[in-house]
Structure 1
Amino acid sequence: MEVELEIIESIAEAQSYVDGKQIGLVPTLGGLHKGHQSLIEQANKENDVTVLSIFLNPMQFRQPQFLAYPSDFEQDKIVAHQTNVDMIFHPSVDEIFPNMKNFAKFQADEFKQRDSFVIEAQNNGIDNVVRVPANLVYHLDGKLHPWVFDGAATIVYKLFEILSPHRAYFGEKDIQQLAILKTMAKLYFPEIGVVAVPTLRDNDGLAFSSRNSLLSKPQRDAALKVHHALRHGEQLIKSGESDYNLVLDTIKALIAEEKSVKIDHLEILSDQDVILYIAFFVDGIRLIDSFVLTHTN
């Protein structure tokens, strides 16, 4: 039976819609692709009602990147309908942040030392800003862009308050964001399950991303060379190479052959799993990728 798609823009109407329902939430920035579809499909299987939030959060971007983000709400509605989403929550910036004055100043006000999550009652007109602990922020992408994760945590905190989902679904590609949101949910929303969904890749291996739509054929080929370099590093680790500096140097050398690519951040983390992570630019278009490897010893 075909699902009738509801599109709701106001917080009050969204809260009325979800009241009494078992909700699976898929939070997105928009620009839906097959990776998002895999999240929606899992939410459909595990919940009575699937809610897709589409909100381009200005707290997570510098202004030029915010304005350039590949959003197409009409196309997103088609994807949502095809994947049997029950409701799209599509609020305006003013609806979510009615008193926001200057998100760039929020980014500049980053506090560097926090041992635990902090909820700021107000920051530059933004209510209930979530500040993430330093130990979760200052590695991987957080070394260069720590405020991004405060922005992501803040909007997810708000979505959880508004929609009270039973489960929320996030992709493993954004591995650091996933770890932060899982920790935040356990602390503030223990009744909400945060579900990690494996990274979905195109036939050529490139991880699906909203920004892939911005890539020309030569730029996509360059991004694929980065993917292949990471695969080579993955194989080195799986074959027993324990000198991660050597692995990183090998990956960098392979990527250096592609002049249109600039590495923003490349790191290997080793905890319960080995995580190989990269953020990079192809002619100014920023992409990320990650591989989660089980320990080989």
Structure 2
Amino acid sequence: MVIIRDVKSLREALREVRMEGRKVGFVPTMGALHTAHISLVKIACERSDYSVVSIFVNPTQFGPAEDFERYPRTPEEDCRLLEAEGVDLVFIPTRSEMYAEDETITIDPGVKAQLFEGRSRPTHFRGVLTVVAKLFDQVQPDLAVFGEKDAQQLYLVREMAKNLQMPVEIIAGPTLRELDGLALSSRNRYLKKAERELATVLYHALTAGVERFQSGERSLEAIRGSMREAINEVPEFEVDYFTAVSDADFEETDPVSEHPRMIIAGRIGSVRLIDNLCPSA
């Protein structure tokens, strides 16, 4: 496994790979890898001839009051896990390698980025799409794998790739969960023991919405009402949003779309968690 830290060397290494006609699969990450990340890596390895994983804690997707400084950084352990999976190349750039000091150009994520996560984190998706666009240009992958747990991010990355005619296939990796339903996340390690037990409220609310939909209900108010009942069971949960959106365009509709995705976000203590669930999952 090759570890590269600068863009010039990355481009040179991948130029040779492409000259050999090999299909490049890519997984962008912020490190602190866990089983869910590795599941995305497995997809990339299975569907490509040459696998690339990036590790970069992207400062531009964090707001001023968020956890950029304390976000877990475990590059040595991450590389050990990736090597065990047979990854070919790991790209670990510095901030200065990714961003010039006088940089002013960014990706406008559009109006859909102002909804849900965008209301709570107004600069988040601009930062996400800008760094993903940079990484796509640097790696030039044939395919890239993103997790469904960050459903709005996945939707916006797909829209960016389509709208900007980027020649990359975006593949969704399914959300992995603990036995009690909590979605795997790097931020779960911040949860105290009591908070960890309460954190299943997100999954319970999502399943309440899904079950109401599967019973034949299509009223958005009624489905949200079932989700609210589950949320009210855990008063410690400070909810940001919860609703059902169309999986096709990430918009609320009433009646609810025939292909909905239940979404939820909020805080338990100081830890902000997000999750989503489709009836077909």
Q: Does 1:17 align with 2:13?
A: yes
Give me the whole-angstrom Cα distance separating, in 1, the residues matched to 2:173 and 2:104: 30
Alpha carbons 2:54, 2:90 under 8 Å: kept: yes
The corresponding residue for 2:198 is 222
What is the identity, as a one-letter code, of the residue corresponding to 1:66? Answer: F
The corresponding residue for 1:118 is none
What is the identity, as a one-letter code, of the residue corresponding to 1:67? Answer: E
Q: Does 1:6 align with 2:2?
A: yes
Give me the whole-angstrom Cα distance separating, in 2, the residues matched to 1:39 and 1:169: 6
The Cα shift of 1:225 comes to 2.6
What is the identity, as a one-letter code, of the residue corresponding to 1:152? Answer: V
Give me the whole-angstrom Cα distance separating, in 1, the residues matched to 2:156 and 2:279: 19
Give me the whole-angstrom Cα distance separating, in 2, the residues matched to 1:39 and 1:271: 20
Q: Identity of paired residues, percent?
A: 34
Deviates more, 1:65-74 or 1:265-274: 265-274
Match of 1:69 among 63, 68, 71: 71
Give me the whole-angstrom Cα distance separating, in 1, the residues matched to 2:16 and 2:220: 50
The corresponding residue for 1:114 is none
The Cα shift of 1:199 comes to 1.1
Q: Does 1:274 align with 2:250?
A: no
In structure 2, relative to structure 1, the CA distance for the partners of 1:261 and 1:39 (3 Å cut) is: same
Q: TM-score, normalised by structure 2?
A: 0.89
The structure richer in strand per residue is 1
In structure 2, relative to structure 1, the CA distance for the partners of 1:87 and 1:127 (3 Å cut) is: farther
Match of 1:175 among 125, 148, 151: 151
Report how many aligned residue pairs link the two structures: 264
Give the SS at the match of 1:67. coil
Which sections of structure 2, spanning at least 5 residues, go unmatched? 18-22, 249-258
Give me the whole-angstrom Cα distance separating, in 2, the residues matched to 1:66 and 1:259: 27
Give me the whole-angstrom Cα distance separating, in 1, the residues matched to 2:226 and 2:155: 27
Displacement over 3 Å in runs of 4+: none
Which sections of structure 1, spanning at least 5 residues, go unmatched? 100-124
The Cα shift of 1:44 comes to 0.5
Q: TM-score, normalised by structure 1?
A: 0.84
Match of 2:170 among 184, 191, 194: 194
The corresponding residue for 2:256 is none
What is the identity, as a one-letter code, of the residue corresponding to 1:246? Answer: A
The corresponding residue for 2:181 is 205
Give me the whole-angstrom Cα distance separating, in 2, the residues matched to 1:78 and 1:173: 24
The Cα shift of 1:127 comes to 4.6
Give me the whole-angstrom Cα distance separating, in 1, the residues matched to 2:72 and 2:234: 25
